Structure 1
Amino acid sequence: MKNLNSFASISRAIDTEYKRQAKIYDAGGKIDQETR
């Protein structure tokens, strides 16, 4: 996650990452710890 210069952008980044990980998890995938 980059360019987190406001609360709105932080909120969007968290929401986007949550949805990305939920999609992987629901498909039976594994969530690996990583730097993004």
Structure 2
Amino acid sequence: YGAWKANAQASVDHAETRYFIAHLHRLVDEEEAAGPTEELG
């Protein structure tokens, strides 16, 4: 149980890091002419 709980807490602690990585992936998509953010103007 202790090892499982430690692993679960570690994944929770890195939630912001995972979001940051996903956000960088979206920025890479902006190289296309009609990226999602491009439409916002």
Q: Which range, TM-score by smaller chain?
A: 0.3 to 0.5
Compare CA radii of gyration and give the structure with the larger one: 2
Larger helix proportion of the pair:
2
Q: Larger RCO: Structure 1 or Structure 2 (Cα < 8 Å, ≥ 6 residues apart)?
A: 1
